[in-house]
A and B are shown apart, each in its own frame.
Chain A
């Protein structure tokens, strides 16, 4: 157990205060892919301006849960969601809700960097253009520069704004995708294993970035790396076979898990 304790920097423990308000609230969430039930009765709170890590073995439902929050599951044939997920108290599965507008409020970064085959500038400007967020070119330039700056990419690409985004390195592409998500000014950013396709240096850069932007956004991150979960998150939720086994403050989960399965997973005994 001592080995795990060293994974958690003391600063993070202090940051994980219990007082922040809840941004995303999930109650009794069940997800079915056709006949197969992928999530069972999940209750989870995601707190404002905190990083919540979803961990668990492959196929445990953590990505499914993530994709419920911006309703990306809608596009999957035969997928059915029951229960209630609310964003700032508003039910996002309400039939009146505008899904497109929801996705502007809940951004997403994918496992594999997926920049559009456009220039770096156009990649970041894509969202603001669609949502009419800039009145003129000057404002758009500002949004793009700002987003790239926040994603820690501006210095590296300042002279390459018109080069194709697909020409950047893997880590830069992923930060470009984060800048692209930031550009529409979302409340929540969902990250689906954002570092699994990156080398350790690029991973460290992204983790730093997550820690920096946490001040302005609520972040939910799916990760296979328990070290990563321990490093970047304030709260951790452990999924297993479609169930939310246990959720709590990250240091607590990693030092004194209540459930036997959590204990087994974080000590590497299974999964």
Chain B
């Protein structure tokens, strides 16, 4: 990995810069360090940052643009007739050249022109690496020398380092925001391609979901219907079931933990709940499919109900259990945040513990509890594994919890599993579903945040 080598080399250079800067500061400071504005190591750090950061930035830019430039140079060097007009074909050709360039043994049947191109590619790569090394070294040394020449006792190295660190932190936070934006943009662009093939109204309001499209004209049973309503209804149904399970259990657990449990019981129950939160969803999934679903089926059968072996109920109940820790730990936190003085005030008026909890603690903590529940809902909506295993893949348009349903996330997963062509509506539908799901959870999270902020109690 040449990139890692460059990174390590840059860091080494920065270390050298640190030592040089520090030494220079000691020299400049003279026998009495007191003349220096900052500690010598701040001068070292200042020089190191000026040496390392520009070098790293140049390196990053280089890595971004180098492959494109090298590729186009290689293509230019190819014999005139060999470059096809179609961009897809061009990328195939480039892949072939790169494969040849990296191959340990050149296949005997390879096109001599391509072999030549591969050799050209390799030599270009080498030149590029050398060039990068030279540029990095130059940038680093220029930064080093420039920063070192600025060192004087009056220079406020400590404050300048502070500023540089602030900039570095800002860049890091920008990265996470940019990543989010990039994900959303990729969703949007792929969705636009999907909506070119399937009208957006069909997608949003269609009542039938059957994403198999015909690859050949004579194929049967592959109509390709992309109505998202059954998926969202299935998602809503399973989420509703899980909330019905999780909210009471989670809330009661939180009340027990916050107001009734002795410190010893709390010390046992809380970690156990955290273990519940730590169980991988796959494990919940097969628990739902292999234990809960057959149990519900048997139970339904014994009272004369027809329960499908893969039912929304089984998936919803298990998902509810899964999100209990979310509801309980968030609610526990907000109820603990209700000041003891309110509980004392209520007790001093002759209220029992449960009266106090019902009439003072829970109302005061309600915004936080609602926020916690909404976060748990987003979590339930995004959950995939349990539903894949326990609720099935059939996109039934039903609100009957005893039937098999499917959810948005499950369909995204099944659409993208295995080898896919990335230009058919079937695959692109995954992006459209993802975009819609993203919008729904985004709105939920915004509402949750708003509720929590608006109704947050001011106790003091």
Contacts and interface: CB of A to CB of B under 8 A. Distances in A.
Interface of A: 70, 72, 75, 77, 100-104, 107-108, 110, 112, 114-118, 126-127, 130-131, 166, 177, 180-181, 184
A114 B345 contact: yes
A118 B358 CA distance: 13
Contact of A104 (B341, B350, B359, B360): B350
A181 B348 contact: yes
A130 B364 contact: no
Interface of B: 263, 339, 341-342, 344-352, 355, 359-360, 363-364, 457-459
A244 to B, nearest CB: 23
11 contacts: A100-B350, A100-B351, A107-B348, A108-B344, A110-B345, A114-B341, A127-B350, A130-B349, A131-B350, A181-B348, A181-B349
A104 B347 CA distance: 9
A104 B342 contact: no
Closest 10 CB pairs of A and B: A104-B350, A108-B348, A114-B341, A103-B350, A127-B349, A114-B345, A117-B457, A117-B364, A100-B350, A130-B351
Nearest to A126: B349
A77 B264 CA distance: 12
A110 B458 CA distance: 18
A121 to B, nearest CB: 14
A103 B363 CA distance: 23
A77 B342 CA distance: 18
B344 A72 contact: yes
Contacts of B359: 126, 130
A166 B355 contact: no
A70 B348 CA distance: 7
A103 B459 contact: no
Contacts of B363: 117-118
Contacts of A100: 350-352
Contacts, number: 69
A18 to B, nearest CB: 30
A261 to B, nearest CB: 31
B183 to A, nearest CB: 40
Contact of B348 (A103, A116, A131): A103
Nearest to B343: A75
Given A103-B347, A110-B345, 4 more contacts: A100-B350, A103-B349, A130-B349, A131-B350
Nearest to A103: B350
A131 B459 CA distance: 25
A221 B449 CA distance: 44
Given A117-B363, A117-B459, A112 B341 contact: yes
A261 B350 CA distance: 37
Contacts of B350: 100-104, 127, 130-131, 184
B338 to A, nearest CB: 9
B254 to A, nearest CB: 18
A130 B355 contact: yes
A75 B342 CA distance: 14
Contacts of B364: 116-117
Contacts of B459: 117, 166
Given A117-B363, A117-B457, A166-B459, A180 B341 contact: no
Nearest to B365: A117
B349 A104 contact: yes
A189 to B, nearest CB: 10
B458 to A, nearest CB: 6
Nearest to A122: B359
A204 B342 CA distance: 25
B349 A114 contact: no
B129 to A, nearest CB: 66
Given A126-B359, A166-B458, A114 B344 contact: yes
A112 B350 CA distance: 19
Contacts of B345: 108, 110, 114-116, 177, 180
Nearest to A108: B348
A190 to B, nearest CB: 8
A46 B379 CA distance: 59
Contacts of B348: 70, 72, 103, 107-108, 110, 181
Interface centre among B341, B342, B345, B363 (most CB of A within 10 A): B345
A117 B263 CA distance: 27
A114 B351 contact: no
Contacts of A130: 349-351, 355, 359
Contact of B339 (A107, A114, A131): A114
Contacts of A77: 263
B211 to A, nearest CB: 51
